[in-house]
Structure 1
Amino acid sequence: MTAAPEPKHALRATDPARIGPYRLLGRLGSGGMGLVYLGRSTTGQLAAIKVLRDELAEDALFRSRFLRELTVASRISGRFSAAVLGSSGARDLHLWLATEYVPGPSVLEAVHASGPLDPQTIRALWLGLLGALETIHSAGIVHRDLKPSNVLLAADGPRVIDFGISALADTTRLTATNAAVGTPGYMSPELIRGDTEVGPPSDVFALGCTLAFAATGVSPFEGANAVETVFRIIREDPDLTRVPAEIVTLVEPCLEKDPALRPTIDTLLGMLSTAETDRISRLLAHGQWLPAPIQAQTVEREGRALAWDGARQALPAAAPAEWPLPADDLTTSLFTSRAAPPDEIPPAEPTTVIVNGAAPAPVPSPAPRQPPLGTFGPPPVDDPAAAPDTGATGPVDEVSLRTHTALLPADTPPLPRLPRRGWRRWVPALRGIVRK
C-alpha cells in the first residue's frame, strides 16, 4: 500500500479541490465523456464522482446523455446497484453525479488479476446480477451496456454501474438511425442492428456474455477485431467449449439470436434448485461469496483510499478553490484554479462610523509608525503583545526588513557631487541652443 496516490490516480494541479459537498482525494479513472474522482463528504461518505468534460458540456447530445444517466441512476435503488448520493442541477453549466464508492474490483479486473472465477463464485455472481436486472427492468430501464467492466465485486454482492447509454421506456432514443452504441462482444444482435425495440432481452444476452467471460476470460463471440466479433454475434454460435458444464446450462439459453426465445428474469431465477439458491443467497448476505484473492484486492483498495486521503491532507493550503464555479464566471474551465493573484485582491473598504443615522466621511486608518532613520528591523507595532516573536538571537525575516534606508558603514566617504546641468542638455531637439 502506497502512502500517496499513484501517478495516474493523483489529483492534478488543474483539478478542483471540492465538487459539491465532496472533498476530492484522487482520480479513479477517465473516459470519453468525463472524469471520475474519489471524494469524501463531511460526514465521511466515500463517493465516486463522475464529471462531464468541459469540451462536451455545451454539446447537446452528450449533455442529454449525461442528464439521462443521472435520471436513470436516480430511479434505481436496488441492493445490487451503486446508490446515487448527489448530483448537479439539470441546468448547471457543469454536470456531475456522485454514487456510492465500491472498493471492490470489476469482473474484468478480477479475471485479469486472478484468472477465471470458480463455478460457485459464478453462480453467486449470476444470482446477484439477476437481482440487479430485476430492479433495473422494474424501473422501466434497459441498461444496454452490461459487461465485465461495469460489474463491481463488493463483499455483499455485485454492483451494476454506468448507465450512460441506458434507455428509458418513456424517452426517445438519442442515437442516430442505424447507429449501434455499446461494447462489441457484449451487444445483443438487435442492439447491433439498431432495432427500434431493444428491451430487457438485450440485457439478458449481455448477462450470458458476461458470465461466459467470468468463466473463461474471453467473450463467447471473441473475434480478431470488432468487425469479426460483431459478425459472430449476428451469424455464428457462441464458443462455450471452455465454460464449465454446470455454467453452460445457465449461459446458453441467454445467447439466443432471437430475443423472443431468451428466458425472462423470473425464468432464470428458477433455473437453480431451491437448496442451491438458498445456499448462495446466504453467502451473499454474509459477505462470504468472493474467493480470497478478490477479497485481498478489496482490502488493498480500501487501504489505498485511506492512504490517498492522508496524502490529500498534506497538500499545501493554496489548492484550487471549490467547484462549481460562481455564476459570474461561466467561461472559466472546470479545472482552473480560482485563487486570485495578490495584485488582483481589492483593497479593504475604509471603516465608516454611523452616528444618528448619518454616515460621516470615512475615517482614515492611522499611518503606521516609521522607525528612526538609520535603523532597520521589523516594523514597529503599537501593541507589544502583538509583535512577532523571532527569538532572542534568531535572524530577522528578510521580508519584514525596511529597505528604504541605505545600510552603510560609518567610515564610508561621501559620494562625489555631480555637476549640475541644465535640463536642456538632455533634450536632443534642444542641444546646441543657448538660453539667452
Structure 2
Amino acid sequence: MEPLRPGDLPEIGGYRLLARLGEGGMGEVFLARTPSGRPLALKTVHRELSLDPDFAERFSREIRTNDRVRSAWTVSVVDFSPPGALPQWLATEYVAAPSLADWVRGHGPLPEPALHCLARELAAALVTVRAAGVVHRDIKPANVLLGPERPFLIDFGIARAVRDPRHTQTGAVIGTPGYLAPEQAVGAVAAAPADVFSLAAVLVYAATGRGPFLAGGEELSLPALLYRIVHDEPLLDGMPESLLPLVRDCLAKDPGRRPAAEEVRARLGAAEEGDWSAAVPPDLIAETGRREAGLRRLLSASQPPAATPPAPAVPPPALPPVPGTAPSAAFTPEPARGSSSRRPLVIGAAAGGILAVAVTLAVTLPGHGGDKAGPPAGSPPASGSSSASPSPSPAASSAGALPASWVGTWSGVGPGTPDADGITRARTGEFTVAVTLTAGNAGEIVGRQVSNVKEVSSGRDLGCTEALELRQIKGNTAVLAAATSHPTDRAASFDCPRGNLYVLTLEAPDRLTLASEGAQSAGAPAALTRGR
C-alpha cells in the first residue's frame, strides 16, 4: 500500500480514495472507502484503453465474469462505472492480506501443513470457478491472497466465460509467464484444464519459492521460458512427496491427461473450517492482523465529520422514546452509487440467488448484489446505553439502539427478472421479502429476513434467509449486516454469503426503503410495508 500521488483524484464513482494498491497493464488499483467506512479495492482503466471503441464491451464482459464467480474463496464485485464514464472503474471487496508472491519473497516457502491446506483451499476455489462456467486463465502467486481465515483467488480480469469462445483470440498469449499452461504458451484457446496446470505451478512456488520451470535464482527471457513450458519437464525438487504425484499429474503437457478440478479436490480431501488459520505460520496471522489494524486506522482517520440531519418538515407521528448516547463513529446515510442509476439497489445477494436473512431486509438476484465481506473495518458498533432511559424525545433517538417504531413485520413484492437472458442473470418470477425486526442495541441481532424467488426455468427457490446485526442507526436511517445466511430452501446447493451490509430508511411509520452498498439487482421490491 502506498500513499496517493499528486494528481490522483480524491474520489471516483462517489468512493473516496485512500491509498494506492498497485498498477498493471489495464490500469491502477486504489484502496477506497464507502461513506459508512467499508473498504474497497477500486480498479481504474488506463484512459488510452477506455478510448478504444471495443474496450467498453470487453470491460463489461470482465465485470460479468467477476460477478459470476461467487464463493468463500473469491472477492465480490461491489460497483462499477456507468457507460461512458472516464475513467472506467470496477470496485470489489478489499482483503487486507499479503499475496502468496509477497509472502514467499519475504518469508520463504510455506511449511508443509500450510502448503497442504493451501492446496485444499485453492482446489475448492477452482471447483467453484468451474461450476460458474469460467476459466480464470491467470492463476499465479500474485493473485492468491493469504487471508487469516482462508486464501482468496482474485483478479479475473483476463478470464473469459467458457461458453463464449468468440472473445478468445488464438495466437495471443493470455496469462502470466511461468504459470501458464502449455496451450496458453502457444496461443491456443485455454479451457478449464489450463487453470489446473496453473494451480499446480502455484503450489510449486509456495513449496519452493520458484516456478516449476525455473531453477533457484534463474532468470530467463520470455521466449526461453515459454519454450520450457511447452517442451521441458517441470523442476519439482523440493516438493513434498505427499503432493508430488498430484502436482506431476496436474502439470501434464496434454490438457486431456490432467485431472479435473473436482478430482483434484477429491484427491486432496475437503477443506475444513478452521484448518487454514491453524496451519499457517503465526507470523502470517500476525501480519494480517497488522494490516487489518492499519486499515482500521486509515478508515477511521478518513471518516467524515458527523452531519446533523435536517429536521423533518412534518414531525413523525408518535415515535416511542428510545434511550442511548451519541455514536462512537459518525454515520452518513449512503445514496445509491455508480451503477445504481442503471438498476435498482437491493439488499443482499445469494451465490446464485436472492438473499433471505433473519432480518429479511432485501434480496439480490443471482449473479448480482451481496457479497461475503465481513463487518466493515471502518464502522465499529456504536456505543449506546444498554438500559432504557425514561423519556427522551424522538429527535434524541440513540445511534446505538433500534427504536421501537421499527419493530414489527415488514414485507414487499418485486417483479423479478422475467426478461433476463438466463445466463448472465437468472430469469425469475415475482419474489417476496418478509422482514421481522425486534428491539436491540448496536452489535446485537435485531431481526430476520426471509426471501423467496423462483427461477423460471427450473422452479428452484433462489431465496436466502439472514439474521441481521444492527451496526449503526442515526435519525431515520439504520445500517445492518448479515450475521448468518443460508438458502431459504434448505435443500438448495448454492451458498448464501455472510456480511452483506444494508442501509434502511424509515420514510413513514409504515414504510421502509432499502439500499445497500453495491448490491445491484433488478426486480427487487423498492420498499417494505408494515404488516397489519
Instruction: Indicate the TM-score class for this superposition, using the shorter chain for normalisation.
Output: 0.5 to 0.7
Aligned match of 2:203: 211
Of Structure 1 and Structure 2, the greater strand share is in 2
- What is the aligned counterpart of 1:264 among 255, 260, 264? 260
Secondary structure, counterpart of 1:26 in structure 2: strand
Q: Does residue 1:37 correspond to 2:27, yes or no?
A: no
Secondary structure, counterpart of 2:78 in structure 1: strand
Q: Does residue 1:109 correspond to 2:99, yes or no?
A: no
Deviations 1:222-281 (A, max 9, x none): 2522222111111110000121212213311100000000001121122135xxx4xx51
Q: Does residue 1:153 correspond to 2:149, yes or no?
A: no
Of Structure 1 and Structure 2, the greater helix share is in 1
Aligned match of 1:283: 274
What's the TM-score, normalizing by structure 2? 0.54
Aligned match of 1:46: 39
Secondary structure, counterpart of 1:271 in structure 2: helix
Aligned match of 1:221: 213
Measured in 2, the distance between the counterparts of 1:220 and 1:173 equals: 31
Measured in 2, the distance between the counterparts of 1:173 and 1:191 equals: 17
Q: Which moved more, 1:172-181 or 1:289-298?
A: 172-181
Q: Which moved more, 1:224-233 or 1:213-222?
A: 224-233
- What is the aligned counterpart of 1:306 among 273, 296, 299? 296
- What is the aligned counterpart of 1:164 among 149, 157, 181? 157
Aligned match of 1:295: 285
Measured in 1, the distance between the counterparts of 2:169 and 2:266 equals: 38
Name the amino acid aligned to 1:309: L
Secondary structure, counterpart of 2:294 in structure 1: helix
- CA 1:200–1:90: 2 relative to 1, 3 Å: farther
Secondary structure, counterpart of 2:279 in structure 1: coil
Offset of 1:314 from its aligned partner? 9.9
Deviations 1:72-118 (A, max 9, x none): 11111111001111112244343211111111111101101110001
Offset of 1:188 from its aligned partner? 0.5
- What is the aligned counterpart of 2:229 among 220, 228, 233? 233
Offset of 1:199 from its aligned partner? 1.1
| 1:57-206 matches, cutoff 5 A | 57-174=50-167, 176-196=169-189, 198-206=190-198
Name the amino acid aligned to 1:201: P
Q: Does residue 1:19 correspond to 2:9, yes or no?
A: no
Measured in 1, the distance between the counterparts of 2:48 and 2:273 equals: 47
Tell me, yes or no, if the aligned pair for 1:48 and 1:101 is still in contact at 8 Å. Answer: yes
Name the amino acid aligned to 1:160: L
Structure 1: segments with no counterpart, 5+ residues? 1-5, 316-322, 325-436
Tell me, yes or no, if the aligned pair for 2:47 and 2:86 is still in contact at 8 Å. Answer: no
Name the amino acid aligned to 2:292: E
Offset of 1:309 from its aligned partner? 3.4
Tell me, yes or no, if the aligned pair for 1:137 and 1:200 is still in contact at 8 Å. Answer: yes
- CA 1:67–1:284: 2 relative to 1, 3 Å: farther
Deviations 1:17-57 (A, max 9, x none): 22234222111111121111111112321110111122221
- CA 1:80–1:93: 2 relative to 1, 3 Å: same
Tell me, yes or no, if the aligned pair for 1:119 and 1:247 is still in contact at 8 Å. Answer: no
Measured in 2, the distance between the counterparts of 1:117 and 1:92 equals: 43
Offset of 1:135 from its aligned partner? 1.1
Tell me, yes or no, if the aligned pair for 2:120 and 2:268 is still in contact at 8 Å. Answer: no
Tell me, yes or no, if the aligned pair for 2:113 and 2:280 is still in contact at 8 Å. Answer: no
Deviations 1:300-346 (A, max 9, x none): 2223323433554699xxxxxxx98xxxxxxxxxxxxxxxxxxxxxx
Residues paired across the two proteins, number? 304
What's the TM-score, normalizing by structure 1? 0.65
Name the amino acid aligned to 2:294: R
Measured in 2, the distance between the counterparts of 1:13 and 1:35 equals: 14
Name the amino acid aligned to 2:136: H
Superposed CA RMSD: 2.4
Q: Does residue 1:246 correspond to 2:238, yes or no?
A: no
Tell me, yes or no, if the aligned pair for 1:155 and 1:289 is still in contact at 8 Å. Answer: no
Deviations 1:278-299 (A, max 9, x none): xx513347x3332112112212
Tell me, yes or no, if the aligned pair for 2:43 and 2:91 is still in contact at 8 Å. Answer: yes
Tell me, yes or no, if the aligned pair for 1:127 and 1:269 is still in contact at 8 Å. Answer: yes
Offset of 1:177 from its aligned partner? 3.7
Tell me, yes or no, if the aligned pair for 2:208 and 2:239 is still in contact at 8 Å. Answer: yes
Deviations 1:195-217 (A, max 9, x none): 23x21100000000000000000
Tell me, yes or no, if the aligned pair for 1:180 and 1:192 is still in contact at 8 Å. Answer: yes
Measured in 2, the distance between the counterparts of 1:106 and 1:93 equals: 29
Higher relative contact order (CA 8 A, sep 6+): 1
Q: Percent identity?
A: 38
Tell me, yes or no, if the aligned pair for 2:105 and 2:209 is still in contact at 8 Å. Answer: yes
Aligned match of 1:320: none
Tell me, yes or no, if the aligned pair for 1:109 and 1:149 is still in contact at 8 Å. Answer: yes
| 1:281-360 matches, cutoff 5 A | 281-284=272-275, 287-309=277-299, 312=302
Tell me, yes or no, if the aligned pair for 1:140 and 1:168 is still in contact at 8 Å. Answer: yes
Structure 2: segments with no counterpart, 5+ residues? 306-336, 339-532
Tell me, yes or no, if the aligned pair for 2:37 and 2:299 is still in contact at 8 Å. Answer: no
Offset of 1:175 from its aligned partner? 5.5
Measured in 2, the distance between the counterparts of 1:159 and 1:225 equals: 30
Name the amino acid aligned to 1:259: P
